[in-house]
Amino acid sequence: MIPCLDVDAGRVVKGVNFQGLRDAGDPVELAGRYDAQGADELTFLDVTASSGNRDTMVDVVRRTAEQVFIPLTVGGGVRTVEDVDRLLRAGADKVGVNTAAIARPALIAEVADRFGAQVLVLSADVRRRRNDQDRGTGDFEVTTHGGRQGTGLDAVAWCVQATGLGAGEILLNSMDADGTRDGFDVELIALVRAAVSIPVIASGGAGALEHFAPAVRAGADAVLAASVFHFGHLTIGAVKDALRAEGLAVR
């Protein structure tokens, strides 16, 4: 169970489909709360990812790592091996890459070769392709810029390629479901799970206790959520209890 903290200029924010962001609190304070509640890991995403915010994000990681001792993944704006090194030195355990890896896939291999595959998380922001009637199809495309810009890359094929280059995990984020609280995209999860052997983290759509078990049954090794935790709708303990009640193994 992984809480996700979307960070903008040193504050946690959350919106719907990456739009209409609102303040959700101090990242270090929230990280400590989730650690106490029994989170297995934490994920920080720099949602603006500008060079101006990089120093802020490194500071957030450093302050969090001083107080929280569960694994910490950090992503957003990571463009070079040096960016990864800087975040690891600040206290991150894993680093997510997205846009820069799409632009230059060799970055995945460079990071994995230097730090090990266990450090490299492919963050895949995926949107369902739509037909001429604006209806969703069974195909999925990788996007950038918070789901607003398509890449033409088939999402499943991209996950397979990244795995071959050395990615150690896939953070699979459904941009259609993000922030909606309507449930995870289990079709997307199942497609990627069938295609890769590395761990898959399901993200996007968590809204109720009954949403988590279907994601795990579809093939997710971990489930990630944000706003339902930030605004007190659910607790990590309640989610874990619900999963156990469904007969699923939980840490």
Query: Which residues belong to the active site?
Result: 6, 125
* Beta-carbon contacts of residue 93 (< 8 Å; ≥ 6 apart): 71, 72, 73, 119
> From CA 227, how far away is CA 21, in angstroms rounded?
11
- The 8-class DSSP code of residue 38 comes to T
Cβ-contact 178, 202 below 8 angstroms: no
The residue among 150, 179, 233 whose CA lies nearest residue 21 is 179
Tokens, residue 131: 């037909």
> From CA 176, how far away is CA 126, in angstroms rounded?
8
